[in-house]
Amino acid sequence: MATIAIDESLNISEEVADFMLFLLNENRVQLPKLSIPKILLVKTRPGLSAEILAASITSRFPEANIPNGPLFGGTPNSMEIFVKIISEEIVDAIQNEMRVDVVTDPGATISAAGGNAGGPVVVVGATVAPHTGIGIAR
């Protein structure tokens, strides 16, 4: 051991790592909130398909220098089969096991019309509590 030691307060290699990991997390691009019309357009989406997903992934194999199609001598391409299995299982889990819980912020505008003996009653206001809902991933 060196006769003259480095001051303990200068041994901060772990803190440096933690700080830089924090920077890495903080600098991630935050997804913007979607507008209501954009969310409503989701109705036109076809939904998840394991086959389309597997095809999309295998079509990008060349980017990772992985061959497409049957291998030399006609051997089936195990990677393609593997990707297909993974895609099927993931899509199956999303479609059949995933749960979507929804909560709406309070403050949603409400308007209602009705009537009583005194005549028609029109109510305009806002929800005061958050509301929950459920959804299904397809």
Partner 1 sequence: MAIDVPINIPLTDAQAELTAKIGSMKSLLALPSIRKRNIPKANQISTYDYIMKILNVMGLTPEVIFNAFLTKVFDQAGTFLEDKVLDAIGDSIGQQGIQLSPYINNPTATNKTKKEYKSNNKAYIHGLYPNPNFLQTVKQKLAKDLVVMIFGPKQVTSTSLNTNQTQVNFLINNAVCAEGLFSLSNDPVIRNNDIEYNRIKLKQQLEKGEVVYEISCQEVKIKLPEDPGFLFTGGGTFTSPSSYVSPAQALIETVQYVNNQVQRINNETNANKGGKKFYQILIDKLLSFISVMVQPYLPSVFTVINASLSPSQQINQSNFVFDNCAIVNDPDNEIKKEFATSLFNALLKDLLKLLLLFTIKRFKRLVANYFAKTAIEKQKRKLEKSKLKFQIFSKISDNADKIEKYQAALKTLATVLGAL
Q: Which residues bind partner 1 (CB under 8 A)?
A: 1-8, 10-14, 16-17, 19-20, 23-24, 27-29, 41, 44
Q: Which two tokens stand for residue 14?
A: 């772990």
Q: How far is the CB of 118 from partner 1 (least distance, A)?
A: 44
23 or 113, CB closer to partner 1?
23
Q: Which is nearer to partner 1, 23 or 124 (CB)?
A: 23
56/68 with CB nearer partner 1: 56
Whole-number Å distance between alpha carbons of 6 and 8 = 6
Of the pair 29, 110, the CB lying nearest partner 1 is at 29
Place of tokens 């199609």: 69
CA nearest to 87, candidates 115, 118, 50? 50
CB 83 within 8 A of CB 54: yes
Query: What DSSP state is assigned to residue 128?
Result: -
Q: How far is the CB of 2 from partner 1 (least distance, A)?
A: 5
Shortest Å distance, C-beta 107 to partner 1: 30
Sign of CA dihedral 123, 126, 132, 133: positive
